[in-house]
Structure 1
Amino acid sequence: MELFFKGKEFVYNHHLTVPFRPLVPHPDKSIGNGDLDGNLIIHGDNLHALKSLLPRYAGKVDCIFIDPPYNTGKENWCYNDNVNSPIMREWLSSNPVNREDMLRHDKWCAMMWPRLKLLHELLADDGSIWVSCDDNEIHRLRSMLDEIFGDENLVSILVVENNRKGRNDKENIALTHEYMIAYSRDEFLSRGLDLTDEQISEYSETDPDGHRYALRDLRKRGSEDRREDRESMFFPLYFNKIDNKLSLERISQHDIEILPLRGDNSDGRWRWGKERVKNNLDLLVPRQGTSGRFDIDYKVYLTTFDDSENEKRKKPKSVWFGPKFSTDHATNLIKDIFGNNPLSHSPKPLEQIVQVIQLAVGKNGIILDSFAGSGTTAHAVLEANRRDDGNRNFILVECEDYADALTAERVRRIIRGYSFAGKVKEEILCEKINWTKFQKASELLRTINGLEALHSPNFNRIKKEIKDGELIVYGEKDITKTKPGLGGSFTFCTLGDPVDLDALLTGENLPNYDALGAWVFYTATNQTLPSTSIDPSKFYLGESPQYHVWLIYKPDMDFLKSNDCALTLSRAETISKTYRDKKHLVFAPVKFVPNKTLLPLGVEFAQLPYAIYRREQA
């Protein structure tokens, strides 16, 4: 079902009109060598930033996690996309968006649509996108994601319990949860989650080769476990006790017939069909119960035979809960890193995004967050790499002014390590308060005062409290701890001036060779350009399936006014001889050789904006 919202016709293809703006590295705010192919933190409008990523990352992002504004009416976010229509200009005059804005849902959809379209272009064919939201926009978000990513690719709408006490957002209900919607064309969830020690202990059986396994009942249990539910999965297996072998066919008159019978002896069914049973007979184990009846188990190995480190993993559930997913946990973590919470709200819990990464990405991959906030996604990537020695990369985009002081600074501290203040408590006295103790209150107070005098030198403070009928006296000591760094690097970037291909050479803002080359290559071939292939000294960009692509250009007005910027016959012949496996596409301001001479050489010419040609003629 298609979602309609006011302004959709104006933003439907707005992502196509957003100008390309090159990434500008800032080495002084980065850690490492300033590599645009590594970890990135980008400060700028995320719509423009996503467009700037296309030449390098279109179709290459393995996992997208975003936590956009929930549109509760309290965030005071602004709709400021430069869409050329009267309705959009009218909306711009009524910012910020708050609860009194009757069109706030339409504006939210108009803001999200072009960003989701660009995210779709960046996502790999086997990648996944995870979007956090709450009740305010979940139904509209689901409709937009269905339309852009395909409703058939919906994996799940997960519930994350992140506040056990509940928020007072609703008048009569204390909300304890939020949602995450996941889409993917790949069965990425088969990667599963790490097993706990308790779950690993279930693999208590060992085969002759030393491989650990657990036994599971082959008979289907629970819902749809009857024969009539799956008639094709009701069939006999035959067990020869002499040879200790199972078969789908009766081989000997002494074979024991085993059927999937339920507890009440009615016909049930197997979990597997005949073909799967036939291909996995070596995993099946007959089991005789106390009643004498035989059943069938199948082996589930802890590791695969071809990769001893490839452990079985548990299937994730649709509800995620526990202290590690709580906003309190997330707030305490950010306080440890900065000494306080610099946000007006709680950041996303670290373990929530770590778990997303475990499910969505192997040990290598690119994770993108275009609503980066405090940088939890980068922290999660580095933490996931630490746990399994992975080599994943992150790309963060944050439009707010705190992109450097908060988003990037958190990542700097996580990489390098940081110190944080904490408190250690030690119980000194615990007494049940009853009527007898109450009658002897003065004696109890003397005891407490004596303990306080005795232990005060060892603590910063002595505290007393009554909780659940008990008097507790404890000492509290302030400590400073050092959290070791996780290592790594990132490049901090801003967005450069828009590359206007129709007015490129005003002489004021000439993009560098790599930036213009990446954009020209992408627009001409719809392929991303590996930075390793670019050779500005030879004016070579790289190859696509159809062409070797060249760009004769320098960010130098004197060069662009000279004959050196032209495609000449000698240059065309050199290009033709360099690679002979496919045709050549050459971008240049001007050419001094006719097409009929170029075509036999396998060279096609594409002129850069006419403004360059006018400069050259002048």
Structure 2
Amino acid sequence: MSIDKIQQGDSLTQSKDLVADNIEKLKQLFPEIVTEGKIDFKVLQDVLGEDIEEEDEYYRLTWAGKAKARREAHKPSTGTLRPVKEDSVNWDTTENLYIEGDNLEVLKLLQKSYAGKVKMIYIDPPYNTGKDFVYKDNYKDNLKNYQEITGQLDEEGNKISTNSDSDGRYHSNWLNMMYPRLRLARNLLKDNGIIFISIDDVEVGNLRAIGNEIFGNDNFISNMVWQKNYSPRNDAKYFSDMHDHILVFAKNKDKFERILLPRTAEQNARYTNRDNDPRGDWKAENLSVKTYSAAYDYPITTPGGRVVNPPKGRCWRTSKEKMEELDKDNRIWWGEDGNNVPSKKSFLSEVQQGRVPTTLLFRNEVGDNQEAAKRIVELFDGKPFDTPKPIGLIKHFLSISTDKNDLVLDFFAGSSTTADSLFQKNLEDNGHRKFIQIQLPEPTNKKSEGFRTGYNNVSEISKERIRRAAKKIAEEHPEKAEKLDLGFKVFKLDNSNIKGWDGNPDKLEANLWDAVSNIKEDRTQEDVLYEILLKYGLDLTLPIEEKTIEGKIVFNVGFGALFICLGDNLTNTVAEGIGEWKEELEPEICRVIFKDTGFTDVEKTNSIQTLKRFGIGEIKSI
């Protein structure tokens, strides 16, 4: 009897293989295209018939590097996310995540655990103005590229840099950055999910084009225009830039249901109850219309005895019989003395209970750049970040697209406006929305206020803003704060905790010794624990309980769904303890993972039999 060992290349040692996943879906849809386990594209073309585009010239967007960018979105990552408890707040209870790392690699790592779980995405990516950086991906080894850029390995390789318009591939560089990230982000959205993307005029056309390709033309919802500035700039060369765009796409437009905004006090003030109608407040509506119909042109006698006709060239909105029915139901207003031209009573309780969102976002409704800067200064007593968005803008998106328990993602987190806004929205409606924030540790400019005040990279500013926003809520609303999740778990992108066989014959002896323990020496049991969760497709915020059995640490994930023990010199007593713990919890499914070198052969065999006796059939080792 043996334990299934997780090998390098197994699904648990890399992120989700999207290519293999899509091929399997093709096989299920068209089984006839499979020949000896491979796809026969000639047969696929025959099956699809006239829906194949074979002309050289047709409508499409292409650029230098598009094919590589498309392939990159489907290439698995061998990285992992390591927990950083010292940077976190309320580690044991929070369901919010802050992930520091290259968002391309992180999005790949989230594919198993969070596919189809995110309700709303908001991103504020680099606008490609020539002043902001565009992260240039290394398609050979993106994880190593990230480590070089952040100084984890050495100073060779690609660097964070601006994407100058003098670069021959100015737009291509930006598209190559955005395309694979949006493809991966789409996978994370729920079927009724939605994405909001801020952009300005430089790349709005290209962003709309790749958005149409990735999400589908039919799933485009809107190009919102946000008034970002309060006053024009007199030094503008041509026109003063007063707006940004927010492009909105749905995962599936037919399934997305927008939420109405609350009615304003001004709207409701138009309704009164002048006759004490038990149905509540109402307002009078004109009963005549311009579209003339002789059948609807008739005299009406008011309760006071006056005969009235519709204005010249108009007629009544309804038939004489229907008018009499409305009057009997006290839905006609004849004026205080009963002699006015009739009006229809429209009751507040019967009208649409909210406002339809519009594509124009005015600064007095959702905030502007000045308000965003004021919020940063309010939290930091300074301005360590130069380009935040106002919380009113993100709260607006949360209001029209999320319910109280939804998950929200921002993979260009910046100063963490999204997390701050989500806290504020939950404070307003007692919600339990959760966030995932992803931010590259982009170095702060040495001339910036952020650097001068001790923040070496954007991630440090971003995390500190969340802490300060949470603290402010706790101080100003202590009773409500007790019911809110104001914490966050921090993870950092790194290479796998599991050693890989490099296949170099010159290092044969070293590799053989490494095989004795395939977990890297500088990694903790918790590092490995979270890599297992990630590669198993489990939520990183699942409840984890820790217990010591026979001197060995055992992790219980998700109330007994998974037990993990990574200790050495394990005995059957540990397996016995896990089995008893499992019986206490009574999970629907139960899996156990050990370290491969943790047992002697005899103890391994006995432990397997013990676990099977407790109904645990899935036992693996790393």
Structure 1 length-normalised TM? 0.63
Match of 1:373 in 2: 414
Aligned residue for 1:181, secondary structure, equals strand
Aligned residue for 1:13, secondary structure, equals helix
Partner deviation per Cα, 1:2-60 (whole Å, 9 max, x = no partner): 4222211112132332415443332222221345x611111111122223333332211
* 2:532 is the alignment partner of 1:516: yes
Task: Give the one of 212, 218, 221 matched to 1:146.
Answer: 212
Match of 1:204 in 2: 272
> Map of 1:62-81 to 2, 5 A cutoff?
62-81=119-138
* 2:355 is the alignment partner of 1:342: no
Q: CA deviation at 1:368?
A: 1.1
Aligned residue for 2:110, secondary structure, equals helix
Structure 2 CA distance for aligned equivalents of residues 113 and 565 of structure 1: 49
* 2:88 is the alignment partner of 1:33: no
CA contact (8 A) 1:517 1:551 kept: no
Match of 1:315 in 2: 356
Structure 2 CA distance for aligned equivalents of residues 283 and 502 of structure 1: 80
Aligned residue for 2:73, secondary structure, equals helix
Structure 2 CA distance for aligned equivalents of residues 55 and 390 of structure 1: 26
Task: Give the one of 469, 479, 492 matched to 1:494.
Answer: 492
* 2:562 is the alignment partner of 1:535: yes
Match of 2:223 in 1: 157
> Map of 1:19-168 to 2, 5 A cutoff?
19=77, 21-35=79-93, 38-83=95-140, 92=158, 95-166=161-232
Match of 2:545 in 1: none
Match of 1:352 in 2: 393
Partner AA of 1:360 in structure 2: S
CA contact (8 A) 1:63 1:123 kept: yes
Percent of pairs with identical residues: 24
* 2:370 is the alignment partner of 1:328: yes
Structure 2 CA distance for aligned equivalents of residues 557 and 550 of structure 1: 22
Q: Do the aligned partners of residues 175 and 187 (structure 1) sit closer, same or farther apart at CA in structure 2, a change above 3 Å counting?
A: farther
Structure 2 CA distance for aligned equivalents of residues 283 and 23 of structure 1: 66
Q: Which has the larger Rg?
A: 1
Partner deviation per Cα, 1:279-337 (whole Å, 9 max, x = no partner): x9999945669998766564442799xxxxxxx22122211113452111111121121
Aligned residue for 1:142, secondary structure, equals helix
Partner deviation per Cα, 1:80-134 (whole Å, 9 max, x = no partner): 343469xx99x95895422211212111111111111121111111121101000
Match of 2:471 in 1: 416
Q: Do the aligned partners of residues 346 and 484 (structure 1) sit closer, same or farther apart at CA in structure 2, a change above 3 Å counting?
A: farther
CA RMSD of aligned residues (A): 4.8
Q: Do the aligned partners of residues 10 and 314 (structure 1) sit closer, same or farther apart at CA in structure 2, a change above 3 Å counting?
A: same
Partner AA of 1:172 in structure 2: Y
Match of 1:588 in 2: 620
Deviates more, 1:347-356 or 1:191-200: 191-200
Q: Do the aligned partners of residues 484 and 208 (structure 1) sit closer, same or farther apart at CA in structure 2, a change above 3 Å counting?
A: closer
Structure 1: which 5+ runs fail to align?
243-255, 271-279, 305-311, 420-481, 524-529, 543-547, 579-583, 590-611, 613-618
Partner AA of 1:385 in structure 2: N
CA contact (8 A) 1:163 1:326 kept: yes
Q: CA deviation at 1:186?
A: 5.8
Structure 2 CA distance for aligned equivalents of residues 394 and 54 of structure 1: 16
Q: CA deviation at 1:70?
A: 0.4
Structure 2: which 5+ runs fail to align?
1-58, 147-156, 319-325, 443-456, 502-514, 540-556, 565-577, 583-587
Q: CA deviation at 1:555?
A: 4.0
Partner AA of 1:108 in structure 2: W
Structure 2 CA distance for aligned equivalents of residues 282 and 520 of structure 1: 67
Structure 1 CA distance for aligned equivalents of residues 161 and 459 of structure 2: 25
Deviates more, 1:165-174 or 1:355-364: 165-174
Structure 2 CA distance for aligned equivalents of residues 62 and 241 of structure 1: 57
Structure with higher RCO (Cα < 8 A, 6+ apart): 2
* 2:594 is the alignment partner of 1:554: yes
Partner AA of 1:25 in structure 2: P
CA contact (8 A) 1:20 1:519 kept: no
Q: Do the aligned partners of residues 239 and 79 (structure 1) sit closer, same or farther apart at CA in structure 2, a change above 3 Å counting?
A: farther
Structure 2 CA distance for aligned equivalents of residues 27 and 282 of structure 1: 70
Partner AA of 1:409 in structure 2: E
CA contact (8 A) 2:280 2:347 kept: no
Structure 1 CA distance for aligned equivalents of residues 329 and 61 of structure 2: 49
Q: Do the aligned partners of residues 94 and 22 (structure 1) sit closer, same or farther apart at CA in structure 2, a change above 3 Å counting?
A: closer
